[in-house]
Chain A
Amino acid sequence: MGKLLDKIEIPQDRYEVRLSGSGGQGMILAAVILGEAIGGGDGRNVVQSQSYGPEARGGASKSDVVISSNEIYYPKAMKLDMLLAMTQESMDKYFEDLKEGGTLIVDTTLVTHVPTDNYYGLPFTRLAREEAGHVMVANVIALAAIGAITGVVSREALTESVLSRAPKGTEEKNRKAIEIGWREGLKLKK
């Protein structure tokens, strides 16, 4: 038998997303919202997991969402189809996990050096602060941009999922955040 490892192929029936940033940027909540929006909408399977423990407080924090129409065997990411990097540290740490030709989306407010020319850059944090009225919704703007750019989630499903998690009184800010993110994402879509 020849070398097995030369013959194997990465499964094509999975779409692997990593949302990364620093503790406090709401990457885990964003992954839960994305998972709910995708899994609740059209019945695809979803596994959401996160780095858990001391390393998740400050420093680079990540949360993964694996999506498939089939049963998801291995629950963690193998080679990312999409990476969101909200900070330079998370950019540097997780870029190598992105597959060749994978989609890289970065927050250009905080990421100054991107190791490739092939990426989508949007100033999520600045848009949140200046246009949406609160820095807290940068994660929602990013989610909407991800939806617009990749098509991984519909605007309707994402809106429903965001609003089901939004604390009372923040609905309008979150709607606005989705509007901004979707609009900016569409502008970049290739």
Chain B
Amino acid sequence: MAEPKRKLMQGNIACVQGAIYAGMRFFAGYPITPSTEIAEGSARELPRIGGRFIQMEDEIASIAAVIAASVTGKKSMTATSGPGFSLMLENIGYAYITETPCVIVNVQRGGPSTGLPTKVSQSDTMQARWGTHGDYTAIAVAPSSVGDTITETIRAFNLAERFRTPVTILLDEVIGHMREMVTLPEPGQIPIFNRVKPTVPPDKFEPFAMTANLVSPMPAYGEGYRYNVTGLTHDTMGFSTNRADEIWPKLDKLKNKIEHYTDEITKLRVEMMDDAEIAYISYGTVARTSLQAASIARKAGVKVGSIQLYTIWPFPDKQLLELCARCKKVIVGELNMGQIVHEVKRVLPRDIEVHTAQRYDGEILTPLQLLKKLEEVM
């Protein structure tokens, strides 16, 4: 067999390729900079493989179509940026409570509002966790390269299917638009998870049954299993309830089906941390600046390392605590006014100093900025 060909690929296109590899067969969206190439790529690729692409009238309709397509059994995705993500949030809540797997890509740009359409930002980090109202637990992943974007998109679909939940991919303008050499994975090279379907006869079907792992088998509409899908808090049969003994378990299910498996969802890249006294903590584009700064500082004799969060939500409390156990100081780098730093402060003991390096002018943090901060805190 021929050697798999390396290609120069744009981040947004890598997202499309990863999604298709994972089994995406439906995309609905409303194009917005800097995510537009994901819609374009999906429009080009999906019809060729029997999938469907729809450009909807807006973002609210886009996520509604994505949820509906998923209920009919198709792996579904939409892509947007901050303004569109804000519009989608109400229906994303509907996906949480109806436990509908789907993937939402947010290629972040500066905000609030229409903000900086062509400029990079990481200011939707908290929105991906708390954006829609109510109690729930979110999963969000953050790639930092074009290659990562393929694997993290596949992982996002797998997590969505496994946990029956929306998963957010936090890309940003820099990764979305840059091109890097990548090799697409061969079929079968990366495992694909498909949602578990019911095996009981339709008349015994309990659509939101409490299973051992808290994830209920999910049929596709049209397969003979009839059930009610509602945004109202519901019992295990899918009908709305006001009974405390049904509300508690439903909401606990939304939380625990994910949080009990945090260790399996967590993904980090840890470099130069073995003897590190100072750690850069970052995600997305900034993680690459951190690695650059840390490797430069190491050559100058500074014991500094880098912890990159691929999984942002659920936050990896336990792992971060262990990794920073020998650190005296950490520097949290973000393209915002400080979001994930609050989680870091929550997790780390008081005797570890938490410093920040922030930028929110539409440009990425440079190695020099992170090195200056390092010098300042040393």
Contact = CB atoms under 8 A, between A and B. Distances in A.
B138 interface: no
Interface string B2-30: 00011110000000000000000000000
Contact of B178 (A1, A43, A47): A47
Nearest to B287: A73
Contacts of B177: 49-50, 52
A78 B364 CA distance: 12
A45 B297 CA distance: 23
Nearest to B294: A73
Interface stretch (A4-12, A92-100, A122-130, A144-152): A4-12
A49 B178 contact: yes
A143 B285 CA distance: 29
A185 interface: no
A8 B371 contact: yes
Contacts of A8: 296-297, 299-300, 371
Contact of B285 (A35, A72, A75): A75
B192 interface: no
A53 B120 CA distance: 11
A11 B181 contact: no
A153 to B, nearest CB: 13
B364 to A, nearest CB: 7
Contacts of A36: 7-8
Contacts of A74: 288-289, 291-292, 366-367
Contacts, number: 94
Contact of B301 (A5, A7, A48): A7
A134 interface: no
A11 B178 contact: no
A9 B296 CA distance: 7
Interface residues of B, number: 37
Contact of A1 (B8, B173, B296, B378): B378
B291 A7 contact: no
B364 A73 contact: no
A94 to B, nearest CB: 16
Given A40-B8, A43-B6, A74-B289, A7 B178 contact: no
B117 interface: yes
A168 interface: no
B260 interface: no
A1 B245 CA distance: 61
Contacts of A3: 375
Nearest to A50: B177
A127 B5 CA distance: 35
Contacts of B364: 76
B300 A52 contact: no
B202 to A, nearest CB: 52
Contact of B179 (A1, A9, A48, A53): A48
Interface string B164-185: 0000000001100111110000
A63 to B, nearest CB: 10
B106 interface: no
A32 interface: yes
Contact of B118 (A5, A32, A47, A52): A52
B234 interface: no
B121 interface: no
Interface in A1-37: 1, 3-5, 7-9, 11, 32, 35-36
Nearest to B372: A5
A40 B118 CA distance: 29
A78 B372 CA distance: 15
Given A35-B179, A39-B6, A52 B173 contact: yes
A4 B179 contact: no
Interface of A: 1, 3-5, 7-9, 11, 32, 35-36, 39-40, 43, 45-50, 52-54, 72-76, 78
10 closest A-B pairs by beta carbon, nearest first, are A53-B118, A39-B181, A74-B292, A73-B292, A4-B375, A7-B300, A73-B291, A48-B179, A49-B178, A36-B8
29 contacts: A1-B378, A3-B375, A5-B375, A8-B296, A11-B296, A35-B8, A39-B6, A39-B181, A40-B6, A40-B7, A46-B8, A46-B179, A47-B178, A47-B179, A48-B178, A50-B177, A52-B34, A52-B173, A52-B177, A53-B118, A53-B119, A54-B118, A72-B180, A73-B295, A74-B291, A74-B292, A75-B285, A78-B366, A78-B368
